[in-house]
Amino acid sequence: MITIKEVKNKKDLKTFVKFPFRLYKKSPYWVPPLINEEMGSFDPDKNPAFKDSEAWLYLAYKNGEIAGRIAVILNHLEIDELQKKKVRFGWFDVIDDVEVTRALLQKAEEKGREQQLEYMEGPVGFSNMDKAGMLVKGFDELSNMTTIYNYPYYPEHFKQLGFREGAAWVEYRIHIPDKVPEKIEKFADIILERFELKLLKFKSSSELVAYADDMFDLMNRSFKDLQSFIPIQKPQIELYKKKYLKFIHPDFVKFIVDKNGKMIAFSITMPSFSEALQKANGRLFPFGFIHILRAQKTSKRASLYLIGVDPAYQNKGVTAVIFNETNKVFQKRGMKIVESNPELEENIAAQLLWKRYKNNEQHKRRVTWIKDI
């Protein structure tokens, strides 16, 4: 017997957040989130996304045992201003039982019909800064802190239930060369000179924060034509500045500006925290933070988190500048492998960076699933 229960209190929310820890306990590829961060995602006082969104959380039980979870989300900016009549769903996890999956997805369908929406899509979050996309390739690859991991039976459930693929993302694994090819270095210098561009360098994280608004403005401009993109709002920007940017080592941030000081490209890479987060198992204290600090200094793997290029400069070689500079950091720190963040398949400009590496492999693919309601 399958029953669905709406999350109504803190105890239910903890059950919701901790369910994946049980489901993926034996998986060597799943990377646990930080429990407090996940709890905060559903607190309107902590997550500014609730300024434009509503969410309902549900738990599925089969024969009295927890069997799945889902978050149903309405992003009113998307629905009202962008005229996308969509109900979102995310934070979706389930045992291998298609009937449990069906029961959970029916909650999203019901909410969409109540709001007279046209279709449902997921897994996605409140906005583009949340994790999105169900893994359909790369089930035996280590996940990272910004992506969703799921078992191979997930996409099979959605196919059985008549969903079709929506947005699709690809991820790359690149073996870092010992030396940047001389022709790339020369080409990067030519691009900087030709377009009168300047690479900004920082000594401290606090210097980065001063450019955060420009970076997010550029992100909104460079991603605006990609499907499923919702402009990042000011309250969210303030949250990311406070919680994340100040902790990023300036070596891993590359900002490029034009002759007038306007930002035209950026990239943020970081050491991989995947193994450290597995050891932390959802908690920074008492010892989890030690694993994070150690990874920040010793990890030989890097992860690209964000990259953006002004539309006016796309396909003009600016990615060569980013490649050249980030590779210097990798070599300085002895890093051997870098993994890209999910990039929409149509976002060719972002993927050009990775194709400059000879030894690259598209090792993961993920999609959202859509169904008309």
Structure tokens at 322: 């980013």
Residues 281 and 305 in one domain: yes
Greater pLDDT, 258 or 348:
258
Burial class (CB in 10 A: 0-12, 13-18, 19+), 353: buried
Residues in the chain, overall count? 373
Residues 191 and 110 in one domain: no
The number of domains in the chain is 2
Say if 362 falls within a structural domain: no
Query: Residue 22: what pLDDT?
Result: 98
Say if 301 falls within a structural domain: yes
Residues 93 and 231 in one domain: no
Q: What is the distance between the alpha carbons of residues 258 and 365, in angstroms, rounded to a whole number?
A: 34
Of 169, 187, 202, the last residue of a domain is: 169
pLDDT in tens, 198-219: 999 888 878 888 888 899 899 8
Q: What is the CATH number of the domain that holds 54?
A: 3.40.630.30
pLDDT in tens, 286-332: 888 899 889 888 899 999 888 888 989 988 888 889 888 888 888 88
Say if 7 falls within a structural domain: yes
Question: What's the pTM value of the predicted model, to 2 decimals?
Answer: 0.91
pLDDT in tens, 326-338: 888 888 889 999 8
Whether the CB-CB separation of 367 and 134 falls below 8 Å is answered with yes
**DSSP β-bridge partners for residue 253:** 268
Residues 125 and 10 in one domain: yes
Residues 63 and 158 in one domain: yes
